[in-house]
Amino acid sequence: MEVGLSAVTEQAGFPWLSAIVLLPVIGGLLLALLPGDSKTAPRAIASGVLLADLGLMLLAFSQHFDPADSGLQLVERVPWIQALGLEWSLGVDGLSAPLVVLSGLITLLSVVASWRVERKPRLYFVLLLLQAAAQAAVFLSQDVLLFFLAWELELVPVYLLIAIWGGPRCQYAATKFILYTALASLGILLSGLALAFAGDSFTFNLGELGARSYGGSFGLLVYLGFLVGFGVKLPIVPLHTWLPDAHGEANAPVSMLLAGVLLKMGGYALLRFNVQLLPEAHLQLAPALMALGIVNILYGALSAFAQDNVKRRIAYSSVSHMGFVLLGISTVNSLGFSGAMLQMISHGLIAAALFFVSGIFYERSKTLSIPNMGGLAKALPINFALFLAASLASLALPGMSGFVSEITVFLGITTASGYTVAFRVITLLLASIGLVLTPIYLLSMVRRVFFGPRIPALAVVGDANSRELLVALMLLVPTLLIGFWPQLAIHLYEPSTSALAASTIASGQLGTPLV
């Protein structure tokens, strides 16, 4: 079976992708070896390294990446540990390029958002740099074992960032995070090994694995192994319970990474592994995946109402919004895949903005308890404007990226010809309930925090400064640009999602719908 996305269309000259992955590692090593105990040098070095890394991404993808080509580009493939079959194999296509840039932007902004971190600043910023490298490697790896190593590596900095710089229950939240994600990773490893041994020759290369066919119960079991492994990170209900605790205890910059980047790894991996490598199994299980998406949307939205902590409410809204990614992936058509990609990009920006702005008024008020806040609109007018804008983007206000992404997913469902009309109508109706609930729980939070009874102790807190305003605008402005000009993002991945949908449909017949 020839899979369009497995074709190599350009061999890299300068190792752009290796530079993107390794530059933060080099910066982290230099920062670790930096003499002295300066509290300002670590953040300056980390900011400079990540700014240079983001510049490398923009230069490589603007000058050497052709969005119209659905094949892998800028490919680097070097034998590494031959006894294990491990290669340093990197490549980029429309599925990975926008998410690499998204991760680079949000990680840079998380460093800028961490300007006031004074406890062990050197270790803190070294961990952020290592996290940046691991994230890029996850999106760029074209070797299953290299992907798994990068996937595991990024767990360590996040665990430490929560455990050391988190809130009162940070040890519990960090341990829960690492247990969930590390145990789920066993499914990824076992499924990857099963694919590597399944053919006539042993290989971990994604392009070579994608040229094989995996049918029957074997393909279904491998698919389920990947689904559990990636579903924890997405997260898919009921594998989601680590997320509210992690967000509730992590500081705002780490929450930006969790919501803006880590959740997108799960969605990306589902497209790259479950759909691209196992299209026959995906066609059979797509209806079940669509049902899981509906559960995510409704459960996340309803659970958000019960949260009296600002960050936990936003965390449950992320569970709900990632349900639209599942819906898009389960449609098995180009519109649905496009909507899933756009939802990941959009939600990454919006959720990072919500968590960042909530961190601003936490620094001022020292509380995230909604009942203990009120009347902040007068004390924090800029903060109020930023949080309201992010909330409106999250509830899919027309003219903002959330609206475009969710309407694209809905259009994908309406044109999903593999499902009965009744099944599509029921899916749309249930998903629409989530759209109705979202503005209620978000705007009620805005009302209670900013327009509730004024609390005298919070009447004199200072508003957002210029640095904080810059970070928020760097997240909110792209949501407006994509909302008014969706092609700004869509043109980067549309050929790849269209090719992926075509190859998936060509591999077989969509499984019997649930109704």
Half-sphere exposure of 191 (CA within 13 A, CB side): 28
Predicted local distance difference test score (pLDDT) of residue 310: 93
3-class DSSP assignment, residue 8: strand
Predicted local distance difference test score (pLDDT) of residue 10: 43
3-class DSSP assignment, residue 315: helix
Question: How far is 15 from 20, CA to CA, in rounded Å?
Answer: 9
Question: Across the strands, what pairs with 141?
Answer: 90
For residues 338, 342, 343, 346, the Cα torsion angle rounded to the nearest 10 degrees is: 180
DSSP letters, 212-251, are S---HHHHHHHHHHHHHHHHHHTTPTTTTTHHHHHHHHS-
Question: Across the strands, what pairs with 87?
Answer: 79
Predicted local distance difference test score (pLDDT) of residue 457: 60
Question: How far is 479 from 94, CA to CA, in rounded Å?
Answer: 19
The values of phi and psi at residue 434, to 5°, are -60, -40
Predicted local distance difference test score (pLDDT) of residue 452: 72
Q: So where are the chain's domains? A: 14-507
Cα–Cα distances (Å) from 44 to 7, 161, 352, 398, in that order, read: 41, 19, 21, 38
Question: How far is 250 from 166, CA to CA, in rounded Å?
Answer: 4
Predicted local distance difference test score (pLDDT) of residue 211: 87
Predicted local distance difference test score (pLDDT) of residue 225: 96
Question: How far is 437 from 454, CA to CA, in rounded Å?
Answer: 27
Predicted local distance difference test score (pLDDT) of residue 1: 36
Is the Cβ–Cβ distance between 148 and 189 less than 8 Å? yes
pTM attached to this predicted model: 0.93
Predicted local distance difference test score (pLDDT) of residue 311: 93
* Tens digit of pLDDT at every position of the chain (515 positions): 334 444 444 454 789 999 999 999 999 999 998 887 777 889 999 999 999 999 999 999 999 999 999 889 999 999 988 888 889 999 999 999 999 999 999 999 999 999 888 889 999 999 999 999 999 999 999 999 999 999 999 999 999 999 999 988 999 999 999 999 999 999 999 999 999 998 788 899 999 998 888 888 999 999 999 999 999 999 999 999 999 999 989 999 999 999 999 999 999 999 999 999 999 999 999 999 999 999 999 999 999 999 999 999 999 999 999 999 999 999 999 999 999 999 999 999 999 999 999 998 888 778 888 888 877 888 888 989 999 999 999 999 999 999 999 999 999 999 998 899 999 999 999 999 999 999 999 999 999 888 877 766 665 567 888 999 999 999 999 999 999 999 999 999 999 999 999 999 988 766 554 44
Question: How far is 379 from 386, CA to CA, in rounded Å?
Answer: 14
DSSP state for residue 36 in the 8-state scheme = S
Structure tokens at 93: 């296509």
